[in-house]
Chains A and B, each alone.
Chain A
Amino acid sequence: EVQVLESGGGLVQPGGSLRLSCAASGFTFSSYAMSWVRQAPGKGLEWVSAITGSGGSTFYADSVKGRFTISRDSSKNTLYLQMNSLRAEDTAVYYCAKCHTGSYYMTYWGQGTLVTVSS
């Protein structure tokens, strides 16, 4: 059974940093691209970042480019999102998602982890 489980969310002050993790199981992790998608309270879905199965290519939304870094460790079957220079508008539930091979739609989603940026 495919599972992805996020962790690392919490309360952080503006300008601070946080690293999210996503533990994956039930599939060959290195064969699939992975994405992060966020959802601000009461709002819709916003794609944040994606990484290819090999980790060789990464992609970012303009809203986080230069502040967030996506990475993966295939030895640990874990996806990461390093978030720096956090702003109030980054407050959201962050979902980790497995992407379909060769296409960037999300086939399996985790339950999400809440990041709150506030002083």
Chain B
Amino acid sequence: EIVMTQSPATLSVSPGERTTLSCRASQSVSSNLAWYQQKPGQAPRLLIYGASTRATGIPARFSGSGSGTEFTLTISSLQSEDFAVYYCQQYNNWPPSTFGPGTKVDIK
């Protein structure tokens, strides 16, 4: 089973700042990596798939990069609605598909 790790666990950011979240896989997942956003009391929402392709309706301030075992999600200018928990998921070697533990982005 591929183990996904995310860092940091929590990120305190001011609105308007640029922020970068990291995700690492225990072995290569090629570019088969997705990012999700989850707000309190809500279901997760797909942001990025294929490591770098934005899902339908996702603002351009969200971007993904990486391949193999190292991935990043960048939010270029954090908006108030972006404070949430972000999860990465590998879907290259499955079952099982595995998620990272999440990074919480909160207000500084």
Q: Which residues on A are within 8 Å of B, measured CB to CB?
A: 35, 37, 44-47, 50, 59-62, 95, 100, 103-112
Chain B residues lying within 8 Å of A112, measured Cβ to Cβ, are 43
Interface pick from B17-25, B67-75, B90-98: B90-98
Chain B positions within 8 Å of A62 at CB level: 96
**Given A44-B87, A109-B44: A61 touches B95 (CB 8 Å cut-off):** yes
Among A44, A45, A60, A111, chain B packs the most CB atoms within 10 A around the CB of A45
Describe A's contact surface by its main secondary structure.
Answer: strand
| Cross-chain contact A59 with B95 (CB below 8 angstroms) | yes
Which residues 38-68 of B sit at the A interface, judged by CB distance below 8 A?
Answer: 38, 42-46, 49, 55
Q: Are A95 and B44 in contact (CB under 8 A)?
A: yes
Residues on B with C-beta less than 8 A from A103 are: 32, 49, 91
CA distance A3 to B36 in the complex (A): 18
B44-A104 in contact (CB<8A): no
Q: Are A59 and B94 within 8 A (Cβ)?
A: yes
Which residues on B sit within 8 Å (CB–CB) of A106? Answer: 34, 36, 44, 46, 89
